[in-house]
Structure 1
Amino acid sequence: MKKLIAAEDLVQLISVTDPNYSPDGTKVAYVQTKINEKKDSYNSHIIVYDTNQGQSYAWTHGKEKSHSPKWSPDGKKLAFVSKRDETSSIYVLRTDGGEAKKVAETPYDLTQPVWAPDGKSIVCSAKLTNKESLDDEKKAEIDSYEPLEIESLQYKADGVGFTRGKYSQLVLIDFATGALQQLTDHETNHSSHVFTPDGQAIAFTANYSEDKELNYVYDIHLLSLDDKKIRRLTNENGMFSSVSFSNDGRYAAFLGHEKEFKNATLTKAWIYDFHEEKLSCLTESLEVIFEDAVVGDTVFGAVSPDPIWTKDNKGFYALATDQGNTAIYYISIEGHAYPVRLEKEHINGFSLHPEEHMAIISSATPSWPSELYELNLETKEAKRITDVNESFVNEHIIIEPEEIEFESYDGMTIHGWLLKPAEYEEGKKYPLILEVHGGPHAMYANAYFHEFQVLAAKGNAVVFVNPRGSHGYGQAYVDGVRGDYGGGDYEDVMKAVDYVLGSYQFLDETRLGVTGGSYGGFMTNWIVGQTNRFKAAVTQRSISNWLSFYGVSDIGYFFTDWQLGYDLFENPTKLWEFSPLKYAENISTPLLILHGERDDRCPVEQAEQLFVALKKMKKNVKFVRFPNAAHNLSRSGHPEQRIKRLNYISGWFEDYL
C-alpha cells in the first residue's frame, strides 16, 4: 500500500542534473545529489552512463561533494570539482581507470573547469582579493573580531555573506605541470568563461563599467592569451552570460538582454559575427525567455547549458522557459527559432550527441522527480534511462495537479494548477491553500514540488498560479507587475481562489490559507493586510517594509527602483504605500513568520519589524528564526532545517484550517 508523503521524505529524493556527452558519444557524465544520512548536508557524485551497455556507474565515492564534470577534448579524461580537503579543487580521472588526480595546488578554491581545445590546459575560477596570490602557501585566516572596512555597495551577497573584497578571477592551469596563471585582476566577478575554438583567447562575462556599483551590467569580453588584451563585444548596457563558439570560430552565441525592462526583460539569444564585427539579437520578436526560470524545491545543483552549436555552424540549441514548462529551442544564425522539445516537464539541463541525432536531458514532471532521458531528435521520443527516484514514486501517493486557466479582472489569462488532497473522497469538503512564488520573475511549472505534495498529504487542496510578473508568458506579462506590487498581481491570485472555489465543489471557502516566500512572502503579507478571507497564513523570507529594504538588502538599492519605480529619497511616501507593514493594523489572520537569520536578500529585520508591530497590537502571530539560513533555505538550505520548515508550514495550517 502506498504511503502519504511527509516532510521527512525529502531525504529520499535524488536530484539528477548536468548531463554531458563524451566527445565520442559513448558515455554521459552527470551529477547525482541527495541529502546525507545525518541530514546535515548533501552528497553529490559524478555518475557515468554507458550508452552501449545502458548502465550507470559511480565514478566518485565517499562523503566529499563532486560536481561540474567536463570531458577532455579527446574524451580520455574527465575533470570535475571536489572538496577533498579544506578547499574545493579540480581533479581529473582517466577514463581507462586509476585514482583522481588533483591538477593544481593552491589554498584557494578552484571551480568551474573548462578544457582548452588541445587538452593541455584548463581555465577555471578562483575567488581572490587584490592582496591574495594563488602562490600563497596557505590562505589567511579571517579574524572574526577584526573590524570590517566597507567602501563598496556590493560588500555582501546572499548565500555568501560579507564578500571582503573577493572577486571571481580567471585562472589558467597547465595540465602537465599544474602551474597556475591568474588571467584577470579587475575588482569584479568574471564568469561564463570558455575558450575560442583555436584556443588563442577566452571569452567571459564581467562588469568593467566605470561605475560598476550603480551601472549594473555584465558584458561579453574576449581575452587574448598572447598579449592579454581584453576586447568588449557587447554595448555596456545589458546583462549577458552563457557564451559558446561556433565550431569554425566565426560566431559567438550567448544569452542576455539590454535591460529595456530592467530585470523583467526577457533573456534573448544573441550572436557576435567576428567576420563582420556585428552584434545581433536573434530572438527579438519571440515572446520566450531563454533561461530556466522555474521555481522548485527538489532539483539541487542544476546547471543550465551554454548554447550548443550544430556541426554545420548554422545554429544552436538553448534552454527556454515557455508556458509553465522548460523547452529546448533551436535558433538559426538567420534568427529562425522553434522548439524541438516542448512537453509538460521541467528540463533543467541537456547535452547534444556528437552526431546530433540524440540528446540527453535531465527532466522532472509533476509526478516524477528529476531523471535522465534519452531524446531521439528525429522521432521526438524520450526514454527514461535512470531510475533513481523510482522506489520513491512507487511507494508514495503523488497527486498529479490539474491545469487551470481563467481570466483575471482585466481579461488577462492566468495559468496555473490545482492539487487535490491526497486522500480525496467524493462528498467531503477540504481546506484550500494558495501558494505564491517568489521572484517575482519566476514561474511555477509542470514539475514535482515536494512542499505541495506534503500539504496535499495533510488533507489540503493547493492552488498555485503564475500571476502577472511571472516568466513564461511574454514580455508584457512579466513586466506587468513592475510599479504595481499589490495591484494587478493581487487581483490575479485572489481571482485564482475565486475560480477554483467556483469550479470545485469539494473546496471549503471558510477554510482558506495562503503562503509564499520572498516576493511570495511580500504577497502573503500584503494579502492578509487587505482581506480577512484567509484563516491562516505563513509568510517566508518576506518583505514587509520597502523603506528599510532599500538599505539592508544586498540588492535593495537598485531592485527597489527597478521593481517599484520609486527612489527612497525622492518618493519615500510611495515606498511606504507599497509596504505591507503600513497595513499591519488590518491583519486579523493568524500569521506564522519564517525567516533565515543570514538572509541578505530579504534580511531578517523585515520579519522582525512585522512581528513586533503585530505583537504590540496583540495579533495572533508567531516568529520562527532559522540560524545561519540564507534566502535559499527552502531549496538548498540545511536539510534538517528544510524538513522543520515544511513541518512548521503544514502544522500551522493544520492548527487553523
Structure 2
Amino acid sequence: MQPEILYRLRFISNLTEGPGNKPLFVLTDVERPEGDKEPPRYRPRLALWDGGLRLLTQGEARNPQWRGEHYYFTRKVDKANQLFRMPVGGGEAEQLTRFKGGVNGYKVSPDGSRIALLSPGDREAPKPDQPQSFASWPFKFEQRGLLQDTPAAVWLWEQGQLRQLHQPALEVTEMAWSPDGQQLYLVSYGSLPERLEGKQRVYALDLQGRVRELFGGEGPVSGLEPAPDGSGLVYLAHAYERGSATDARLTYRPFGGEPRVLAQGNFTNTINSDCRYGAYAQTPKFGPDGLVYLVETKEGHARLRKVSLEGEVGKVHGIGESVLAFALCGRDLYVLTETATQPARLGRPGETLFDPNAEAALALCEPAPVAYRAPEGHTVPGWVLLPEGEGPHPLILYIHGGPHTAFGSAPMLAHHLFREAGFAVAYCNPRGSSSYGEAFADLGYRWGEIDEADLLGFLDAVLERFPQLDRARVGVAGGSYGGYMTNWLTARVPERFKAAVTDRSICNWTSFFGASDIGPRFVHLQLGASVWDRPEVLWAKSPLSLVHQVKAPTLVVHSEQDHRCPIDQGETWYTALLHRGVPTRFFRVPEEGHELSRSGRPDRRVARLEAYLEWWRQHL
C-alpha cells in the first residue's frame, strides 16, 4: 500500500433525510484529470440510497437538504458558494442566490416555503492585494482566511424573492427554524467581550426582523433543536465548569419554564481519522418516538444515544464501531459507521447497506490493544500496529491532536502506511484526551507534565510487551497538539528518540497567543496565563525554551494558510533547529491550512505522506 491509495478512496458524508424516508448524502471521490494541466480534486456529488446507490448530480453538490419536491445544495460559482435547488423528480438545478459574497449557511423551513441564509450579500471579500482594517476579533479564521468586520447577515428567501432579515453585530454560528416556520432561533454573541470569552446567547428572530434574547451568556451553545410541538428547545451547553475539558450538558428549556439538564457527556464524535471528507451531522435530533438522538464518544468509541425529556438515557447503536453521523428518515434510522480498519459506511443498526470503498482493497490490519497502568492508578489505553516479520522493527510513537480528541474505532491511514513500510506504530490516549470523563481530559494547566508521563509510560509498556521492537530506533510524530508534544518530548528527553516529524505544531505560546485564530482564549483555557498575566508560564511551557536540548533529526511540516497553528511556529522551530546543528528539513505546503492531512488537495496529502515515509526511511 502506497500513499497514492488516497486517490482510490471514496468518502460518504452529509447524511440527512431524503424523500420516501430514504437517506440522502454526499458521495465524494477524487478526480484525476488527464495530463498535468490540472491537479487532482475532490468531486462531491449528491446521492440517494433507495435499495441501491442513485447519484443525483454530476456536478459539485455540498450541504444537502430536502423538503417536499426539491433537493437543496450549495455549489461554488466563481469561487463563491451559491444555493441551488433541484426537482426530486429530475431536471436541471436552479440557482437561487447570486451573492457576490457567497452563502455561508442555510436552513430550509419545515414546509419548504422559506429559506434562511447566512451571507455577506454583495459585500465581496477584500482583494488580497488591498489593505484591510479590523476592529473585531477574530479577524481571521481557519479555512476562511481574513474575515470582514461586518458579519454575515440573515437573509430570507420566499417565493423567489430575497430580502435581508437581520444584520447581527457579531457572527451567527447556528440557525434553526421553529416547527411552524414563523421564526428562527439564532446562536450568536451578546458583546465583543463575550465573543473573546467564548460565551454565546440564543435569540429568536421573527419574519419581520424583530430580535429578542432568550438565554445564554455563560458558555458555548450548539446543537439547537426545537421540540416538534413547539414547547421548547433542546441544545448542548456548558459554563466552562472545568475549562476546555468540560463535558456538554444536553439541556431542555421549555418556553416559559426552567431549563433542565437531561444528560452530560462528550456529545460529538472526537475520534481521530484521516479517512473522512465532508460534514457529519451529530447534533441532537428529535425522533418520531419523541426521544432525542445524539452521538456520544466514550472510551474511544462514538455511540448513538437516545434521551427522553425526563433524562432517561439509552444506547441505540455502536458496538465495535463508531457512529460518525445519523439520519432519522421517518421511522427508519440510518447511520454512517467506522471501525479502526474501515472508513465510513452507510447502514442501519447492525446492517451495512453501502460500503463506498469495497473495491479499494484497503485491507487494513487490526491493531493490538495495549493498556498502560500508570502509577497514579489510571489506565492509558492504546494500540500497536506491527509490521510483518520477526524484526527488530523501528517504532513510531504517534500523538493525536487536540488535546481533547482521541484515537479509537476510526481508521488512521497514515499509521497503516507506516506499518506497510516496515515501521511499527504505537498510539494512545494520554490524559488530556476526550471520551474518558472530565477528570481525565483536564490537564489542569499541566501541559508537558502529566501527558508526558502517560506517553512515556505507554511507550515503555509497548517496548516491554513487544521484544521484536528496536529500542534504539524509536521515532515520534504528531500534528497540532501532537506536534507540540513532539517538540516537547524531543527537547525534554532527547535520548529517547532517534527521529521526529512535527506537523502543524506549536513551539512558542507567546507568539501563538496573538497569531492564532483561537490564541487568547485557547491559551487562557489551557495554561491559565496570557502575555500580560504571568507571561513566564507561556515561555516555560514553550518547547522553544528547551530547543537547545534537541538532538533528533526532525522533519517540520507546516501549511502556509494555517490560521490555527500559524506557520511562524513551524518556521521558528525549523530555524532554531538548523542554527543548533540538528539535522532538519522544512516541508512547507502552499495554499493549505490546518486540515491538510484530512481535507487538503489530494496530491498535497499524498506528498505529505511521502515526505513522512522518506524521513522515516532515512533516519529510522
- TM-score, length of structure 2 as denominator length: 0.95
Q: 1:365 aligns with which of 336, 339, 351?
A: 339
- Look up the equivalent residue of 2:191 and give its one-letter code: S
Shift of 1:557: 1.5
SS in 1 for 2:572: helix
Shift of 1:158: 1.8
Confirm whether residue 238 of structure 1 aligns to residue 223 of structure 2.
no
Q: 1 CA distance for matches of 2:233 and 2:217?
A: 17
Equivalent runs, 1:485-634 vs 2, <5 Å: 485-531=447-493, 532-634=495-597
Equivalent runs, 1:68-467 vs 2, <5 Å: 68-72=63-67, 74=68, 76-126=69-119, 128=120, 134=121, 136=122, 140=124, 142-174=126-158, 176-177=159-160, 179-209=161-191, 211-226=193-208, 228-274=209-255, 276-284=256-264, 288-313=265-290, 315-355=291-331, 358-375=332-349, 382-393=350-361, 396-421=362-387, 424-425=388-389, 427-467=390-430
Shift of 1:234: 2.9
Q: 1 CA distance for matches of 2:129 and 2:55?
A: 44
Aligned pair in 2 of structure 1 residues 637, 416: CA closer, same or farther (>3 Å)? same
SS in 2 for 1:233: strand
Confirm whether residue 60 of structure 1 aligns to residue 57 of structure 2.
yes
Decide whether the 8 Å contact of 1:233 with 1:272 is kept in 2.
Answer: no
Decide whether the 8 Å contact of 2:101 with 2:124 is kept in 1.
Answer: no
The superposition leaves residues 296-328 of structure 1 with CA deviations (integer Å, 9 ceiling, x where unpaired) of 111111222432213353x21011111111111
SS in 2 for 1:253: strand
Q: 2 CA distance for matches of 1:473 and 1:168?
A: 37
Decide whether the 8 Å contact of 1:522 with 1:580 is kept in 2.
Answer: yes
Aligned pair in 2 of structure 1 residues 79, 572: CA closer, same or farther (>3 Å)? same
Q: 1 CA distance for matches of 2:341 and 2:592?
A: 29
Shift of 1:433: 0.6
SS in 2 for 1:443: coil
- Look up the equivalent residue of 1:536 and give its one-letter code: A
The superposition leaves residues 304-360 of structure 1 with CA deviations (integer Å, 9 ceiling, x where unpaired) of 2432213353x21011111111111111111121321122223221011312xx311
- Look up the equivalent residue of 2:94 and give its one-letter code: K
Confirm whether residue 12 of structure 1 aligns to residue 34 of structure 2.
no
- Look up the equivalent residue of 1:409 and give its one-letter code: P
- Look up the equivalent residue of 1:303 and give its one-letter code: Y
Q: 2 CA distance for matches of 1:589 and 1:515?
A: 12
Aligned pair in 2 of structure 1 residues 471, 168: CA closer, same or farther (>3 Å)? farther
Match of 1:379 in 2: none
Q: 2 CA distance for matches of 1:235 and 1:293?
A: 25
Aligned pair in 2 of structure 1 residues 122, 141: CA closer, same or farther (>3 Å)? closer
- Look up the equivalent residue of 2:165 and give its one-letter code: L
- Look up the equivalent residue of 1:58 and give its one-letter code: L
Q: 2 CA distance for matches of 1:107 and 1:574?
A: 45
Q: Which ranges of structure 2 fall in alignment gaps of 5 or more residues? A: 34-38
Of the structure 1 ranges 322-331 and 202-211, higher mean CA displacement relative to structure 2 is found in 202-211
Q: 2 CA distance for matches of 1:387 and 1:548?
A: 45
Decide whether the 8 Å contact of 2:199 with 2:216 is kept in 1.
Answer: no
Q: 2 CA distance for matches of 1:475 and 1:538?
A: 30
Q: Which ranges of structure 1 fall in alignment gaps of 5 or more residues? A: 129-133, 376-381
Aligned pair in 2 of structure 1 residues 183, 215: CA closer, same or farther (>3 Å)? farther
Q: How many residues align?
A: 614
Match of 1:43 in 2: 43
RMSD of aligned Cα (Å): 1.8
SS in 2 for 1:278: coil
Q: 2 CA distance for matches of 1:211 and 1:273?
A: 28
Of the structure 1 ranges 80-89 and 561-570, higher mean CA displacement relative to structure 2 is found in 80-89
SS in 2 for 1:351: strand
Q: 1 CA distance for matches of 2:125 and 2:594?
A: 26
- Look up the equivalent residue of 1:332 and give its one-letter code: S
Q: 2 CA distance for matches of 1:436 and 1:625?
A: 21
Which of structure 1's runs of 4+ aligned residues deviate more than 6 A? none
SS in 2 for 1:82: strand
SS in 2 for 1:392: coil
Q: 1 CA distance for matches of 2:601 and 2:19?
A: 37
Match of 2:27 in 1: 32
- Look up the equivalent residue of 2:375 and give its one-letter code: Y
Aligned pair in 2 of structure 1 residues 234, 294: CA closer, same or farther (>3 Å)? farther
Shift of 1:166: 4.8
Decide whether the 8 Å contact of 1:469 with 1:482 is kept in 2.
Answer: no
Shift of 1:24: 3.8
The superposition leaves residues 159-207 of structure 1 with CA deviations (integer Å, 9 ceiling, x where unpaired) of 2221132523322111x32x11222212322132111111111112111
- Look up the equivalent residue of 2:199 and give its one-letter code: V
Q: Percent identity?
A: 30
Decide whether the 8 Å contact of 2:15 with 2:281 is kept in 1.
Answer: no
- Look up the equivalent residue of 2:198 and give its one-letter code: Y
Decide whether the 8 Å contact of 2:403 with 2:433 is kept in 1.
Answer: yes
Decide whether the 8 Å contact of 1:203 with 1:221 is kept in 2.
Answer: yes
